Structures are given as C-alpha cells and as structure tokens.
Chains A and B, each alone.
Chain A
C-alpha cells in the first residue's frame, strides 16, 4: 500500500496523527510526502520525503507566521500556489501516479488532493489522516477479495 501525504505543514501534525502514521508505516504502509513548508522531524522520520515545494524556511524564520494575515494567506492563496507547484514538480507528480491513496493532511492541501482526484481515477483521495487511518486499518483487517 502506497500512500501520498500532501500538506502545507505550517503547523506540525498532532502527536496522535504522527503516531498513527508511524504505526501504519510499521505495519508495512509506505508513505511519500509532499509539503509546502519543510516538514517536522516527526513526519520526515516515517515517510519518504519527495518534495518541499515552497521556500525552505523553518517556522522560526517565517516572518509573521501564526498571525491573522499569515493564516488568511494560508487559507486563500496557498492552496492554489501548492497545486501549481505540485503539478510542475516531476517527483510529486510521479508520487501521485504510484499512490494507492492520497491524503490531504491539512485544509490548504485539499485543493491539490481534489485536483489529483479529478485526474487520477484509481487512488482513494481522503481529507485528514484520521479517516485515512481508519480506512487503512480496516483494509488490513479485511483485505479486499
């Protein structure tokens, strides 16, 4: 099972999400990761990082991060930037092509996942890792005939 995770990664995933991804990785699921900002170490450790599409600035270097303006930008502008960068990035496109499941880890990544869903008929495309985790767990428990 190959899962492509897409995230803006402005904030690190919750401990629960990081733990769930690590658990699935230990169970044999392989993860590719495409982000806008550099991903947190907890995610990088259990995934094969494919691409960081935005500027390689750590959270401490990003001016105004966490401000209302930054959050509005993340909500309104970044989804389109992320999608445009994704489709120009060959490793990301290839990762999407081999994915059995595509997961938008945060809201800004949903547009990219949705655009991929329109172009790729096969993979399941899911918003949020909790739902993906449930599907993966159920799939492992009840393999498709």
Chain B
C-alpha cells in the first residue's frame, strides 16, 4: 500500500449505466458507495453503444452515477448479437448458420464463456493501463459475465493487487434447478478454483448460494460473505391515499423472462377477479419483456390475451420514476422463477414500499428468507390458480384495511435491507485491510 490518502478501487462491471439490466443497480450502488466512502473509483465497462444496441438503456440511471466515479469504456464486440450489417463478414451473410457455429467456438477460446470470451484481452489491457496511471489498491469484479473476473486475476498476478469476486448469480450452479452446470475438470471449474483461491473476499447475494460455494471451496469459506442487493433509500416510496371504494391496483415491476410463472399467475388472477371483493381490480405490469430489445413473443401473447381481465402492460419504468410508479399501486406482485437459490433485486424495492406483497413463486425460493418476517407478505403454497387467487384476495383485504400499525411494522422490517446496510460493513473491512497495508489474506500468486 502506498502513502496516498485515498485508496483506488477498480470496479469491473460489464453492465453499468445506462444499461437497463437488473445487475446494474448493484454495480452502480457499489461504485457510488465506495466513492462516498473516500475511495477513488474507476469503472471498467462496455461502450454505451452496446447497451443502446443490445440490452436497452435506462437513461435516468446515468444521472445517478457519482460524479467522482471515473468510467472507462472498454471496447466490446458482441458478434452474435451484432446488428450493424457493415460489420458482417461475407461468410456471415452467405452462410449464417455455419458462421454462428464457428463464432461460438472462437469466442470461447480466450475464456470459457460464450459471447464474452473475446473481452478478456481488452479488459486485461485496460486494467493494466489504469493501474499504470493510478495505482489500483483493490479490484472488485462483478459477474456475470464472469469474464469480468479476468481483469482482477491479471492485476493480481502481475502486481499483487487484491481482489473481490462479486457474484450476482453463480457460475457453476444453476440457481433455478440447483444442478451443477460445469464438470469438475471443465475450464470454467478450473478458472473458478483459481479465482476463488486467491480472492480477498467473495460476495454472494444470498445465503443459499454462499452455502453452496462454501461447501465447494471449504478453504475459502471464511472469505465468503452475503452482500444482499438491498434497496436504495431514495427509492423508498409511500403508499398512495385512495378512496375506499376505488378498484385496487396490483402492480408488477421487473423483467418478465420465460422463467417467470406468468401463465400461472394469470390463471390465478382470472379466478380471483371472479370474487366480488376483487371487482374492477386491475394489474399494471411495468418492465421489459426479456433481457434484450426483442421482446419475448410468448410473454407478449399472454399479456395481450389478459387485457380483457384488466391486465395492462405499461412498458419499462426508469429508475428515477420507480418511486412514483410504486405510489400508484395498492398491492405488489412478486413473480419469480422457481429455485431455492433465486433472489431478486426487485424484492428489496418492494419491501421498501411497505405495501402488501403477493409472492407467486415456488415456496422454496430463496426470496422467502428475505420476506419471511415481513408482516404484509402473502405467499402461495403452490402455483395452482385457486391458491394464487386466495393470496390475491387476502392481500387485497389487507390493502383495503390499510392498518397503519401493520404498515409501520412493514416499513421498519424493510429498513434492515437498505443497500447501504448491506455494502457498508464490507467496504469498511476492505478499507481497513487496504489502508492498514496488511498482507493480502489470500496471498499473491507467483
């Protein structure tokens, strides 16, 4: 450690504002929180154009980046999703299927991750350049994509810079069905073993995922921490005041992927709407229909068909507009894919509202650990239509009752899940370790 007063963090995050995907909020909050905590922060991410062309942008997020954070855009080519025809080769135009097969194989040569492998060389060069210009004291790489970890690895190998691996998901574990995705001898497994072995800390978004990895790497278990996503204080909203007899508004905010049990929910909703107390109730769906620009066709079809049942698709909502959107709801709908390792960043925003939450997902989902103590939580025991209808009706009754004591208890419970409360303990520990100049607990590779 040098005698400079401000330590320097290199944050490697493929998704960063204005990218609109879910993982961006965590990277954004991490950068801002470190900057606020007295660190110089440099972010390595992809060019803005990548988000414009492939993932979609939430332009409101750019205004939330702390002005002290320096953002370096590292060239990235997403060949398979490339839509700029000028960049197409003759082979791609004449034989697109053959081209796709060849491209997939080539992409995986530098790093075993389809589509992202070629970013490794650019990232490593950028990390070395940043370190040469302004000595890096800590690298925090957030995945997926896991290629982000290679910048941390490279700086650690060459200059002994300690690093943190931040898993928003998992690499070897399928968080939906719990099976292992890559064999022990696979390149992905070998890479992860090396990375985990030398990491100063390894962060996971929930305890089930941390536990799975602790079993896989018992020697590293003490360096593994849960840093849940949490919610940003600025986004917490208050419930709207509504006339007693006005129809209830159920709201969903989030990305509707094929994993989300939308069809099951809509069956339950149709059943619930036949009950007199639910007369006139509506569902407003906000968010993206899939991860990329092209919306999921099946999702779109389901939503179109449900329009007659009071379900409307309202399109994406910018982060800065989220609080106003929540204020228009009486009940929140949490639709998640099955899986005991699955949590959602969205659940924390939901908690912050203090509104009744209907959970439509597998009861064993990891999110149950977060919502377990929330007094206005209405989970389902299974995904059958009558069971979903029951939860909807109970939540509607709670919304109509509007018990102030229950709501206060709900908001108080949510306080524990503020994002700053998740990040601060780790930032303090890392600041102490870096500024004290103590030895890198994981040691330096030869």
Contacts and interface: CB of A to CB of B under 8 A. Distances in A.
Interface of A: 14-16, 102, 104, 107, 110-111, 113-114, 117, 124-128, 130-135, 138, 141
Nearest to B90: A114
B134 interface: no
19 contacts: A14-B297, A15-B300, A15-B304, A104-B85, A107-B96, A110-B88, A114-B88, A124-B84, A125-B86, A126-B83, A127-B88, A128-B294, A130-B292, A130-B293, A131-B53, A131-B83, A133-B293, A134-B53, A141-B59
B46 to A, nearest CB: 15
Contact of B53 (A111, A113, A135): A135
Nearest to A126: B83
Interface string B69-110: 000000000000001111010000110100000000000000
Contacts of A117: 85-86
Nearest to B93: A114
B295 interface: yes
Nearest to B55: A134
A110 B85 contact: yes
B446 to A, nearest CB: 46
Interface in B415-443: none
Given A110-B88, A126-B85, A127-B85, A16 B295 contact: yes
4 closest A-B pairs by CB: A131-B83, A130-B293, A125-B85, A130-B294
Contacts of A102: 85
Contacts of B295: 16
B311 interface: no
Contacts of A135: 52-53
A125 B82 CA distance: 11
A125 B83 CA distance: 8
Given A16-B300, A127-B83, A128-B83, 14 more contacts: A102-B85, A104-B85, A110-B85, A110-B96, A111-B93, A113-B85, A114-B88, A114-B93, A125-B86, A127-B88, A130-B294, A131-B293, A135-B53, A138-B57
A110 B83 contact: no
Contact of A126 (B84, B292, B297): B84
B336 to A, nearest CB: 24
Contacts of B57: 134, 138
Given A114-B88, A114-B93, A131-B293, A138 B83 contact: no
Nearest to A130: B293
B163 to A, nearest CB: 34
B56 interface: yes
Interface in B301-334: 304
Given A104-B85, A125-B85, A130-B294, A110 B52 contact: no
A126 B84 CA distance: 5
B93 A110 contact: yes
A71 to B, nearest CB: 13
A138 to B, nearest CB: 5
A134 B84 contact: no
A28 to B, nearest CB: 19
Contacts of A124: 84
Contacts of A126: 83-85
Contacts of A114: 85, 88, 93
B300 A134 contact: no
A104 B82 CA distance: 13
Contacts of A111: 93-94
Contacts of B84: 124-126
A107 B88 CA distance: 13
B259 to A, nearest CB: 20
A114 B95 CA distance: 13
B77 to A, nearest CB: 15
A15 B293 CA distance: 14
Contacts of B96: 107, 110
A117 B82 CA distance: 15
Contacts of A128: 83, 294
A133 B88 CA distance: 20
B81 to A, nearest CB: 9
A92 to B, nearest CB: 17
Contacts of B297: 14
Contact of A134 (B56, B88, B93, B94): B56
Most chain A CB within a 10 A radius of its CB, from B54, B59, B88, B93: B93
A74 to B, nearest CB: 13
A124 to B, nearest CB: 7
Contacts of B93: 110-111, 114
